[in-house]
Chain A
């Protein structure tokens, strides 16, 4: 197990480094970097100043050295728009996103496991078919469209829920509901399939031959086995939420990392973009470790 985590750490470091290279060369080789960092209407002298100041006239390798050195010290530079360290701006937004993702994923996980298990146990029943339909809609729905339709219906027509912001509990209802749909649909399908496989396996036959009760059969014998493939999908979906709530955050004016990135892109605030990428990549790395750990707790075969 230690080996596995070590391997994961090394490969993640390599991946992070790959990301650093990718971002660096994308920003330096696809044209004049000052065009990326400065507003569109900046004058030529401003640009020249900027290049001097940030060493953009140095050889590429020297620049890369500075760049990596800065990153290692956690220095992402200042946000060009907010005159604060880019990392602070990002971390502030990240806390919001983390809350949103954590609440959503907790709800999704519980709902998908409960509904998926029951659907698998009553395969072919009305409940099963309704669950499949629900998961199909959830997995196919364009979130931006559902979001604006929901705003029209629940906020504008019925006036039940606020349209944007984070002030009260009610502000969280729509974003969480919209974010809930797709992971719920996807995970539900995996839970159902995985439970079906587990219910048909030989050890369930043994347990039945031992006289184990049905509830125990489902929740003790099969669920733990069925969780193994599910965990991977939960991890993928959580990773997507951690930094991919772009659409929902934008539409509902939620001050998370996704909205921050879109704003930063529109405002050409490159340091913030870079810091956001690194922070989320790190978060994903930590989450993958947790997934590995969960896997090891559930499956004794990979512990050795």
Chain B
């Protein structure tokens, strides 16, 4: 008999795939007590979500198969219960919320209907459900709660949807809430609010919280205990503070070391000449101003970071400068000539000098072309750069430069991992020997350890080749380590502009302060101070 609220013992799950059986988790054991927050930390493919799916009976068999283990809750092994008994527990005793609340809400029913359903699904009368739904929506802080009940999921913002998702999960005051990457798709300020809400609700109800995440900052913010997973196995368990300062397993140490935001800050070189001068750049869609008059310079060899939350217009700058969209006004002077008024033919020449690396390498590489074709396409377009007989040698040289092997040239993008694909995308950008590379969230889709490697590669290229970067990102610690200067954007305008040191050490504007305060520090002790400071703000 166990005295834990929930205990997973020796759980192994495997999936049937094209490559045969793949073990998703191997002999995993952990437990959760009442009122406690357990974080399960892992990168993609670590199997961090699998044990929760097993708890919620969400693993489809086939292709999934639970090969061993037990899940003890209330003195019963959940895996021995029939589906009806499991269903009766779901939502009532154990509830779950997910990443990406948009797709996890049913798009064709109102949120009120969906929250009430949790109540009625377990046999409570409809009138009671309505009252409870209203109470919950009020509690999670949605404006106009009565009106909100009759709205559809698409009518809310991402942060509001996650709040509603939490309301729905907590409708029957469950003993356990499992949160699978609940804040991953959200802006930092919204993330901080949602985590605070979860914390408060836990204090009110005394529920146990299982928080699945890839983010050390989230762990530091809320976790009482931590389980670190790698490739389906638990490599380390303990208190976050102990693990952070005294990790035993090499993988945990690597993860902690990879967390950005601890390096030496760079100093901008004021003597370098500007190569790109953006003046009063504007973009509007109808009456909506995505960008309203933005002015800044990029100097030769300099890294300018553009940070801001979603909807701040930071990516619009890249799209306008590269003429992927037409601007509504302003200038972008590249070495004195306005890019925005160039004919397509003139623009084609400039494109050799300005290249771009996109957010998601899975999508930015044509899946039907080999790596050789992807990289050499640049020379097929700009015929005078390199004679055809030198292509292969140069591709191999570039692959070597970004840390891949020459033999990779004949492979297709899907044969590489996410980090390798981003290296290919970088090699493609380098093919034309540009003077400026615009990185649009170039590392935000990557796992932390991969992210660190790619940032290191970009830093090396900057030092070796003297390339300037516009580094568009929402992740402040990465920016702190990599950039020379920072532009902070909000609602299509520049809020603050300064050197990295000035922005991070002495922010002047309230918005910048709030943004920085909302960021999570991987060190639990530091994060505790930050949290208190933010709540006081």
Report A-B touching, CB under 8 Å.
yes
Contact B103 A209 (CB under 8 A): no
| CA gap between A238 and B452 in the complex, in Å | 58
A213 sits at the interface (CB 8 A)? yes
Q: At the interface, yes or no: B335 with Cβ under 8 Å from chain A?
A: no
Interface residue A206 (Cβ < 8 Å from any Cβ of B)? yes
> Do the beta carbons of B106 and A205 come within 8 Å of each other?
no
Beta-carbon contacts of B62-104 to A below 8 Å, as 1s and 0s? 0000000000000000000000000111111001101010011
Query: Is B107's CB under 8 angstroms from A299's CB?
Result: yes
The reply to whether B108 and A299 form a contact with Cβ atoms under 8 Å apart is: yes
Which residues in B have their C-beta under 8 angstroms from that of A4?
none
C-alpha spacing A209/B89, complex, angstroms: 9
B154 touching A208 by the CB < 8 A rule? Answer: no
Q: Assuming the A-B contacts A202-B98, A298-B108, A300-B108, are A210 and B103 also in contact, with contact meaning beta carbons closer than 8 angstroms in the complex?
A: no
B168 CB-CB contact with A under 8 Å: yes
- A211 contacts B87, C-beta separation under 8 Å: yes
- In contact, B121 and A213 (Cβ under 8 angstroms): yes
Residues on the A chain within 8 Å of B165, using CB: 206
Q: Does B162 contact A (CB under 8 A)?
A: no
Residue of A208, A211, A299 near B88 (CB, 8 A) is A211
**Smallest CB–CB gap between B470 and chain A, Å?**
35
B56 CB-CB contact with A under 8 Å: yes
Q: Which residue from chain B places its CB closest to the CB of A224 in the assembled complex? A: B108
Contact A206 B108 (CB under 8 A): no
Q: Contact residue range for chain B? A: 20 to 34
Which of A208, A298, A301 interacts with B90 by CB under 8 Å?
A208
> Residue-by-residue, is B107-140 near A (CB-CB < 8 Å gives 1, otherwise 0)?
1101000000110011000000000000000000
User: A210 vs B172: C-alpha distance in the bound complex, in angstroms?
Assistant: 10
Contact of B103 among A202, A211, A221, A299 (CB under 8 A): A202
Q: Which A residues between 49 and 89 are near B, CB-CB below 8 angstroms?
A: none
Query: With the chains together, A299 CA to B110 CA distance in Å?
Result: 11
Interface contact B107-A209, CB-CB below 8 Å: no
Task: From B56, B104, B118, B152, give the contact of A300 (CB < 8 A).
Answer: B152
For the complex, give the distance between the alpha carbons of A209 and B122 in Å.
Answer: 12
Task: Determine the chain B residues whose CB is within 8 A of the CB of A205 once the complex forms.
Answer: 58, 98, 104
> With A210-B90, A300-B152 as given contacts, are A225 and B96 in contact (CB-CB < 8 Å)?
no
Residues of B close to A225: CB separation below 8 A: 106-108
Q: Is the CB of A301 within 8 A of B152?
A: yes
Q: Is the CB of B106 within 8 A of A221?
A: yes
Interface pair B104/A206, CB less than 8 Å apart: yes
Q: Does A212 contact B (CB under 8 A)?
A: yes
Contacts of B57 in A (CB 8 A): 208
Within the complex, which residue of A202, A210, A216 is in contact with B118, where a contact is CB–CB below 8 Å? A210
- Docked pose: A206 CA to B89 CA in angstroms: 14
Residues 151 to 184 of chain B near chain A (Cβ within 8 Å): 152, 154, 165, 168-169
Known pairs A212-B121, A213-B87, A301-B154; A207 contacts B108 (CB<8 A)? no
Complex CA–CA separation, A224 to B110 (angstroms):
13
State the CA gap A209–B91 with chains docked (Å): 6
Which of A203, A207, A213, A216 is close to B107, meaning CB atoms less than 8 Å apart? A203
Q: Is the CB of B105 closer than 8 A to any CB of chain A?
A: yes
Tell me if B92 and A202 are in contact (CB < 8 A). Answer: no
Chain A residue nearest to B52 in the complex (CB): A209
Q: For residue B92, which residue of chain A has the nearest CB?
A: A211
How far apart are the CA atoms of A224 and B152 in the complex, in Å?
Answer: 15
The residue on A at minimum CB distance from B119 is A210
A213 contact set on B, CB distance < 8 A: 87, 121
In the assembled complex, the CB of B169 is this many whole angstroms from the nearest CB of chain A, namely 8
Given A221-B106, A301-B107: A211 and B154 interface contact (C-beta under 8 Å): no
Contacts of B110 in A (CB 8 A): 300
Nearest-CB distance from B94 to chain A (Å)?
Answer: 8
CB of B89 to closest CB in A, whole Å: 7
Q: B105: which A residues are within 8 A, CB to CB?
A: 203, 206
Which residues, 195 to 231 on A, are CB-close (under 8 Å) to B?
Answer: 201-203, 205-213, 216, 221, 224-225
Measured CB to CB, the nearest residue on chain B to A301 is B154
Complex formed: what's the CA distance from A208 to B86 in Å? 10
A209 to chain B: which residues have CB within 8 Å?
56, 58, 90-91, 95-96, 169
Separation of A221 and B108 alpha carbons in the complex (Å): 9
List A contacts of B88 (CB < 8 A). 211
By CB atoms of chain B within 10 A, which of A203, A209, A225, A301 has the most? A209
Given contacts A201-B103, A211-B91, A225-B107, contact A206 B121 (CB under 8 A): no
B178 nearest CB neighbor, chain A only: A209
Which residues of chain A are within 8 angstroms of B107 by Cβ–Cβ distance?
203, 225, 299-301
Chain A nearest CB, measured from B443 CB (Å): 26
* B106 contacts A208, C-beta separation under 8 Å: no
CA distance A221 to B117 in the complex (A): 11
A206 touches B98 (CB 8 A): yes
Q: How far is the CB of B177 from chain A (nearest CB, A)?
A: 11
By beta carbon, the residue of chain A nearest B94 is: A209
Q: A residues within 8 A CB of B118?
A: 210-211
Q: From residue 207 to 229 of chain B, which have CB atoms closer than 8 A to chain A? A: none
Measured between beta carbons, the chain A residues less than 8 angstroms from B106 are: 203, 206-207, 221, 225
Give Cα distance in the complex from A210 to B169, angstroms.
Answer: 7
State in angstroms the CA–CA spacing of A281 and B415 once bound together: 52
A168-208 residues at the B interface, CB under 8 angstroms:
201-203, 205-208
Residues of B within 8 A of A203 (CB): 103-107
Interface 1/0s, chain A 268-304, versus B by CB < 8 A?
A: 0000000000000000000000000000001111000
CB distance from B129 to the nearest CB of A (A): 12
Asked whether A211 and B90 contact (CB < 8 A) given A206-B98, A301-B152, the answer is: yes
In whole angstroms, what is the CA distance A207 to B91 when docked? 9
Chain B residue nearest in CB terms to A303: B152
Bound-state CA distance A202–B100 (Å) is 9
Chain B residue with the shortest CB-CB distance to A222: B106
- What's the Cα separation between A205 and B92 when bound, in Å? 16
State whether A210 touches B108 (Cβ < 8 A). no
- The residue on B at minimum CB distance from A210 is B91
**Contact indicator B122/A211 (Cβ below 8 Å):** yes
Which residues of A sit under 8 angstroms from B100, Cβ to Cβ?
202
Within the complex, what minimum Cβ distance (angstroms) separates A107 from chain B?
A: 26
Please give, as numbers and ranges, the residues of chain B lying within 8 Å of A299 by CB-CB distance: 107-108
Residues of A contacting B168 with CB < 8 Å? Answer: 206, 210
A210 to B119, CA, bound (A): 9
Residues of A within 8 A of B95 (CB): 209-210
Additional A-B contact list (16), CB under 8 Å, known A210-B95, A210-B121: A203-B107, A206-B104, A206-B165, A209-B91, A209-B96, A209-B169, A211-B121, A211-B122, A213-B121, A225-B108, A299-B108, A300-B108, A300-B110, A300-B154, A301-B107, A301-B154
Sample (29) of A-B pairs whose CB atoms are under 8 Å apart:
A201-B103, A202-B98, A202-B103, A202-B104, A203-B104, A206-B96, A206-B104, A206-B106, A207-B106, A208-B87, A209-B56, A209-B58, A209-B96, A210-B90, A210-B95, A210-B118, A211-B121, A211-B122, A212-B91, A212-B121, A224-B108, A225-B106, A225-B108, A298-B108, A299-B107, A299-B108, A300-B110, A300-B152, A301-B107
In the complex, the 4 A-B pairs of residues with the closest C-beta atoms, listed nearest first? A211-B91, A211-B90, A210-B91, A202-B103
Interface residues of B (CB under 8 A from A): 56-58, 87-92, 95-96, 98, 100, 103-108, 110, 117-118, 121-122, 152, 154, 165, 168-169
